[in-house]
């Protein structure tokens, strides 16, 4: 499968009469966008705001972040099973508005998730402080059932991302990135001297606000399966989760998965990247056993030498991570794990809720319990009083002047377990 | 699956929907201690005790689903269940002084925590056939 990403650079946002990109500025026709989103009868009120890097703006509570993309050539449509038909994607050409993002915000339950600060110390921890954000403020009709509310917010974000890109589909790209995955028949013999390595991509799947969708299918109801990395770039995997915000893979991160990008970079040089297996992180222990055994069975059928495993979330999924690890190792595959840590505010507690001796190669995205003070911002998009009941916050988190003291857990994407973070450590 | 299945919880929301329930009128810690004692008595965990991505000081409710028999042999402790519940207790112990108790949050917020707690257990409850949407 071969996919070309036609990237149109966006360095600024502005309101305009017509939604289009001109000289790096994405103009947004607010009236047209609000009108389209208001067609959803589950939403009583829709508003759109713009937030750009460096501004004194805070956004909360954030539900999802999505990169605007659309298919310009090839089978299927963007976000299949959500805003497009369920046809398989991952081939042809896809337009990307690089540097732009759609941010959804709204109150689904009374405790809240997800802060984005566009400047200040919080911005250093949040990848979306660097994107030009089209922010959707979504208020539901009275007494809307919570699953319907979540679905309405999710679809509004995806529809907006598709709409923005679709309006710019004739733009000349600033850059074209090409990704190709060979068939198994070819890839198994492509680099006989290099180890065969795949990516085991764990998807959050515990329930409402903790779910992920694959081609519109609830990941908790699916057995592990194979997916081409280019399908992921076309939105085959969509986030339905935001609790806790720091280590949930937003749709934006799935589309730009740094692990996949990095594995492509090393492909043919350090190892032979032969594909991805997706699996879930259910609450039921029997599901954990079934999914981990089934994933490693698929890996064994592929004759892998190594497996890179990324987790989404903490606690419950630590058990899945560890089962995947030791089952792979005992089947003869080397593993590397990607996770984050909940080591307490002093960093002294045990980082993960599970472990195994085989898990001897592990990359961490940081301690989510680290406390940070976020100074007041001139403008808040969303619901500022919710900081007191935000996961990662506590009663008293929000001071009268607007200062918020929280754990990193509350900052969306701050300890992303796919490595989509702004801060890192390097060996010197 | 062998034997009877029971939900141990301090979340009153389940009382009207779950057919087999051991209600603990106490804290989330009390639930985990009860589950640990049951595991030592031969019961087997069917759900992960650290479900949901909220810390002990962020969610006042805790629930666990157990099989009352372990391979029809009460004399044997299920080691994996014991490992999971001890790890869960260890996580809770590390922040026991900040544990969020029932009755502290505004009622509407606490109700949403109770709702989310049930949402996250629902799939397992349905799998073991002890949940009724219509009520019991």
Exposure string of A322-339, with b = 16+ CB inside 10 Å and e = fewer, is bbbbbbbbeeebbbbbbb
Bridge-based pairing state of the strands A217-218 and A225-227: unpaired
pLDDT of A420 > 90? The answer is yes
pLDDT (tens digit per residue) in A236-288: 999 999 888 999 999 999 999 999 999 999 999 999 999 999 999 999 999 99
**Burial (CB count <10 Å: 0-12, 13-18, 19+), residue A42:** middle
CA nearest to A246 within chain B: B53
Q: Does the pLDDT value for residue A389 go beyond 70?
A: no
pLDDT of A83 over the 60 cut: yes
pLDDT of A169 over the 90 cut = yes
The stretch A112-138 carries a mean pLDDT of 95
Q: Is the pLDDT of residue A342 over 80?
A: yes
Instruction: Note the pLDDT of residue B73.
Output: 62
What is the helix (H) or strand (E) element at residue A15, kind and residue range?
A: strand A12-15
* Confidence bin at B1 (pLDDT 50/70/90): very low
Percentage of residues of chain B with pLDDT beyond 90: 76
Binary contact (A206, B120; C-beta < 8 A): yes
Nearest Cβ partner for B57 among A204, A319, A394: A394
Among A222, A315, A389, which would you mutate to test the B interface (most chain B Cβ atoms within 10 Å of its Cβ)? A315
Give per-residue pLDDT as tens, A192-236.
Answer: 999 999 999 999 999 999 999 999 999 999 999 999 999 999 999
The confidence score (pLDDT) of residue A392 equals 57
| Domain chopping of chain A, boundaries | 2-410
Helix (H) or strand (E) holding A12: strand A12-15
Cis check for the bond before A244: say yes or no (omega within 30 of 0): yes
A247 or B74: which carries more pLDDT confidence?
A: A247
A288: helix, strand or coil: helix
What was the pLDDT predicted at B105? 86
The interface predicted TM-score (ipTM) is 0.93
- Tens-place pLDDT, residues A4-25: 999 999 999 999 999 999 999 9
String of DSSP letters for B58-106: T----EEEEES-STT-TTS--HHHHHHHHHHHHHHHTTGGGPPPTTSS-
Cβ within 8 Å, pair B51-A283: yes
Q: Which two tokens stand for residue B68?
A: 């009352």
Burial class (CB in 10 A: 0-12, 13-18, 19+), A187: middle
Tell which wins on pLDDT, A405 or A226: A226
Pairwise CB contact (< 8 Å): A313 & B53: yes
Chain B, nearest residue to A320 by Cα: B48
Share of chain A above pLDDT 90, in %: 86
Handedness of CA B72, B78, B84, B89 (dihedral sign): positive
Confidence of residue B8 (pLDDT cuts 50, 70, 90): very high
Q: Choose among A248, A284, A350: nearest Cβ to B46.
A: A284
- The pLDDT of residue B16 is 94
Per-residue confidence (pLDDT) for residue A390, from 0 to 100: 61
Which residues from chain B sit within 8 angstroms of residue A342, using beta carbons? Answer: 55, 91
pLDDT in tens, B76-94: 899 999 999 999 999 999 8
Tell me what the mean pLDDT of segment A33-58 comes to: 97
The pLDDT score that the predictor gives to residue B2 is: 44
Q: Is the pLDDT of residue B69 over 80?
A: no
What would the mean pLDDT of A68-76 be, rounded to a whole number? 97
């Amino acid at each position: 499968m071969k996919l070309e990403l036609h990237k149109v650079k966006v360095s600024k946002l502005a309101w305009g009469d017509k939604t289009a990109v001109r000289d790096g500025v994405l103009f947004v026709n607010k009236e047209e966008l609000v009108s389209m989103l208001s067609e959803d009868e589950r939403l009583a009120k829709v508003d759109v705001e713009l937030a750009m890097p460096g501004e004194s703006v805070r956004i909360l509570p954030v539900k999802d972040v999505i990169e605007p993309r659309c298919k310009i050539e090839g089978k299927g449509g963007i976000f299949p099973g959500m805003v497009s038909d369920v046809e398989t994607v991952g081939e042809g050409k896809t337009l990307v508005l690089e540097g732009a993002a759609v941010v959804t915000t709204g109150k689904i339950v009374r405790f809240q998730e997800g802060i984005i600060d566009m400047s200040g110390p919080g911005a250093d921890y949040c990848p979306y402080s660097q994107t030009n954000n089209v922010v959707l403020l979504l208020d539901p009709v009275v007494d809307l059932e919570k699953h319907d509310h979540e679905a309405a917010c999710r679809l509004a974000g995806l529809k907006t991302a598709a709409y923005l890109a679709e309006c710019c589909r004739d733009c000349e790209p600033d850059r074209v990135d090409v990704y190709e995955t060979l068939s198994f028949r070819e890839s198994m013999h492509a680099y006989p001297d290099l180890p065969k390595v795949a990516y085991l991509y764990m998807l959050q799947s515990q329930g409402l606000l903790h779910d992920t969708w694959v081609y519109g299918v609830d990941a908790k109801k699916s057995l592990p399966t194979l997916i081409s990395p280019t399908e992921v770039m076309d939105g085959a995997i969509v986030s339905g989760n935001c609790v806790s915000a720091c280590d949930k893979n937003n749709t934006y991160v799935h589309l730009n998965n740094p692990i996949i990008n990095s594995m492509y970079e090393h492909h043919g040089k350090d190892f032979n990247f032969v594909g991805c297996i997706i699996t879930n992180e259910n609450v039921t222990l029997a599901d954990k056993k079934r999914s981990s055994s089934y994933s490693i069975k698929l890996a064994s059928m592929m004759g892998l030498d190594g497996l890179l495993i990324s987790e989404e979330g903490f606690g419950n999924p630590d058990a899945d991570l560890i089962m995947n690890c030791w089952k792979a190792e005992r089947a003869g595959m080397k593993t590397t794990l990607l996770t984050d840590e909940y080591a307490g505010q002093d960093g002294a507690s045990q980082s993960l809720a599970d472990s195994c001796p085989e898990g001897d190669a592990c990359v961490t995205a940081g301690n989510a319990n680290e406390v940070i003070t976020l100074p007041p911002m001139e403008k808040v998009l969303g619901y500022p009083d919710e900081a007191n009941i935000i996961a990662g916050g506590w009663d008293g988190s929000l001071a009268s002047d607007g200062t918020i003291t929280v754990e990193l857990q509350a900052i969306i994407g701050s300890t992303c377990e796919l490595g989509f973070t702004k801060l890192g450590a390097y060996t010197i | 699956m062998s034997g009877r299945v029971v939900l141990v919880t301090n979340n009153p929301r389940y009382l009207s929907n779950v057919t087999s329930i051991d209600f603990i009128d106490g804290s989330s810690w009390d639930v985990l201690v009860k589950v640990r004692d049951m595991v030592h008595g031969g019961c087997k965990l069917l759900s992960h005790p650290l479900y949901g991505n909220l810390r002990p000081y962020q969610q006042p409710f805790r629930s666990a689903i157990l099989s009352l028999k372990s391979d029809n042999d009460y004399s044997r402790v299920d080691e994996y269940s014991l490992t999971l519940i001890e790890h869960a207790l260890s996580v809770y112990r590390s922040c026991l002084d900040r544990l969020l108790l029932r009755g502290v949050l505004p009622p509407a917020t606490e109700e949403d925590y109770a709702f989310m707690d049930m949402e996250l257990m629902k799939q397992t409850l349905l799998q073991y056939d002890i949940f009724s949407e219509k009520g019991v």
